[in-house]
Amino acid sequence: MAEIKYTEDNIRSLDWKEHIRMRPGMYIGKLGNGSTPDDGIYILIKEVFDNAIDEYVMGHGSQIEVKIEEGMVSIRDFGRGIPLGKVIDCVSKINTGGKYDSKAFKKSVGLNGVGTKAVNALSDYFYVKAVREGKQKEVEFSKGEISQDNKIKKSDDAQGTLVKFKPDNYIFRNYKFKSEFVENQLWNYAYLNAGLKILFNGKTIVSKKGLYDLMMRKTEPDQHRYPVIHLLGDDIEIALTHGQQYGEMYYSFVNGQNTTQGGTHLQAYKEAIVQTVREFYNKNFDTKDIRASIIGAISVRVEEPVFESQTKTKLGSLNVAPDGISVRKFIGDFVKEKLDNFLHKNPQVAEALLKRILQSERERKEIAGIKKIANERARKSKVHNKKLRDCRVHLNHKKGDEEVKKATTLFITEGDSASGSITKARDVQTQAVFSLRGKPLNCYGLTKKIVYQNEEFHLLQHALNIEDGLENLHFNRVVIATDADVDGMHIRLLLLTFFLQFFPDLVRNGHLYILETPLFRVRDKKDTYYCYSEQEKQQAIDKLRGKPEITRFKGLGEISPNEFADFIGEDIRLEPVILDDTNVEQVLKYYMGKNTPQRQEFIIENLKVEKDEIEEETEELIELD
């Protein structure tokens, strides 16, 4: 083996745009194509919009305009405008910006001088115009390089900043903005900045009551056990109620940033609610009973927040600078005073809250008895071992080993043939298999007792180890692996209903996936292609010379273990089940409740589309023959 030399020639320095383009994930998280709300193209919007919000928070401009047309994003604020002599530096020099000066931007989201520069570097076209004191400066870029630098000139335009950009299609392959994701993103800004008017492609987005409006729009008001408690203070706003759903639901924000992964502020909020409720009722309720079915929202503003990543989804700050008050104490003191006062002044709400807690306590104790009987029954029949083929890593790793936990995957399969193929093909160190027997029960509208009374659901929950919450979740990735036929889709839907109904937090925290397996195998004597769509199949046919052999996989059991190893290895295709701000109750009621005319129409329409696709597929196969 030839020796690899390591000399001065191997050392290379990248300029700012080269580094961003080479390692975009460091700056905007995952790339994606716009099919999920956390894809990079939406982070690009956020980075530019954050600057406009910072202007509004500092008291400059009451309206922001956003337009998206043919992949081009335009964001116009009416703030102070970037100082004209520093426009180029602010959008193309790392660690340059006005937010390092806390006097100018006290409680800003973007503090590291990277955001807009990343947008510039990752855009095929980037344009900025700053208007200030009757003058304007315009500059155009392409992939971070200046393509047009216009001189400062007089302007009659309103003061503020306009940014336009078009993401680079080389980096964001076949991207497409989804209006519903952008609109939801903008609504979050509106909730956190009451009175701000946002114009988005002709729509007006505005909130008058902040987090109260968020709670009323993102949850079902008729499912609330008592009216939303909405409390405001200096640099803090909270909202709280209890619903009918299983699990907890929180919306958390720091300086206008949606911290989807929570952080120190959210943990402090949860702790403060428990402590305040216990002291108010003078009873040491179990934490689970207080927080069961809770729906809460919190927004705080802190100086120089420390986030755990550039995408700012989790707060890591311990202090509220500059006076050094801890986040826990700041939030705890506010909740204790304001929530306690509210409950004293609103006895009907206090009574409804107490009833909800006592109901959760009764249900928990009742389920504990059922769970004990079910576990004993399963132990005697040794059915646990028959259903779950666990991975070896669980036998060796120490409790709390986070890296090991991240590597684990559980495949939920249907039938002996499918589970047998995956079991033989899996990585026994980190991948486990749970085999279903027949179709699961449609559990929509049923109580959590069904989890223990129904053997399949009880054993699945036991395999995942989520009986007492997600803290002890046995597998980081839970993958539904069903056939791509009608029965397989039905089983997939029933499993989704189970998780959404009883364990929505598992979905919200990004642990649930759908396994994508190839629909076709296209091959000749030399080459073999596995295709996941009609388009990929046609591309494979075009690559092969001569008459190809085409196999349509209708079930996972038809795929040999040797082939399966390719589909669940490093190149595994997983479709995450996204539960962002979706109203779970509405979705389940529509798809899993009693038949409704609307759902019948939906099914008929989609059957028509599928029938057309089947007819086209048949015609193609006839032509090939």
- Whether residues 338 and 261 share a domain: the answer is yes
Q: What's the confidence (pLDDT) of residue 105? A: 43
- Whether residues 170 and 196 share a domain: the answer is yes
Domain containing 460: what range?
A: 382-517+557-593
- Whether residues 55 and 198 share a domain: the answer is yes
- Whether residues 395 and 338 share a domain: the answer is no
Q: What's the confidence (pLDDT) of residue 288? A: 92
**Where would I find the beta strands (DSSP E) of 465-548?**
477-481, 512-516, 520-523, 528-531
DSSP letter for 603, please: H
Torsion of Cα atoms, 365 then 366 then 368 then 369, to 10° = 130
* Closest by CA position to 16, among listed 75, 88, 80, 67: 88
413 is a domain residue: yes
**CA 260 to CA 523: how far, in whole Å?**
44
Weakest-pLDDT range from 84-98, 139-153, 420-434: 84-98
Task: Give how many domains the chain has, as a whole number.
Answer: 4
Cα distance from N-terminal residue to C-terminal residue, the chain: 50
539 is a domain residue: no
- Whether residues 622 and 586 share a domain: the answer is no
**CATH number assigned to the domain comprising residue 432:** 3.40.50.670
Who's near 335: CB < 8 A, 6+ residues apart? 238, 269, 272, 273, 276
Q: What angle separates helix 347-381 from helix 264-281, to the nearest 10 degrees?
A: 110
DSSP H helices, 320-415, are 327-345, 347-381, 383-387, 393-396, 402-407
What confidence category does residue 573 fall into, taking pLDDT thresholds of 50, 70 and 90?
confident
Q: What confidence tens digit (pLDDT) does each residue in 359-407 have?
A: 999 988 888 888 787 777 766 655 555 688 888 887 665 555 666 677 8
In the chain, the percentage of residues whose pLDDT exceeds 70 is: 83
Q: Is 448 helix (H, G, I), strand (E, B) or coil?
A: coil
**CATH number assigned to the domain comprising residue 342:** 3.30.230.10
366 is a domain residue: no
**CATH number assigned to the domain comprising residue 75:** 3.30.565.10
Q: What confidence tens digit (pLDDT) does each residue in 66-123 have?
A: 999 999 999 999 999 999 999 998 898 775 555 444 444 445 554 444 688 999 999 9
- Whether residues 170 and 319 share a domain: the answer is no
Q: Which helix (H) or strand (E) is 41 found in, with range?
A: helix 40-57
Q: Is 514 helix (H, G, I), strand (E, B) or coil?
A: strand
**CA 196 to CA 55: how far, in whole Å?**
11
pLDDT at 147 over 70: yes
530 is a domain residue: no
Q: Which of 73-87, 488-502, 587-601 has the highest average model confidence (pLDDT)?
A: 73-87
What confidence category does residue 255 fall into, taking pLDDT thresholds of 50, 70 and 90?
confident
What's the chain's average pLDDT? 83
The tokens 């409680």 sit on which residue?
107
- Whether residues 109 and 129 share a domain: the answer is yes
Q: What confidence tens digit (pLDDT) does each residue in 544-569 have?
A: 878 899 999 877 878 888 888 888 98
- Whether residues 194 and 224 share a domain: the answer is no
Could you count the other beta carbons within 10 Å of the beta carbon of residue 289?
Answer: 20
Helix/strand/coil percent split, the chain, to 5: 45, 20, 35
Weakest-pLDDT range from 395-399, 447-451, 570-574: 395-399
Q: What's the confidence (pLDDT) of residue 523? A: 92
480, 405 contact by CB (below 8 A): no
User: What is the rounded average pLDDT of the residues 324-345?
Assistant: 91
- Whether residues 63 and 167 share a domain: the answer is yes
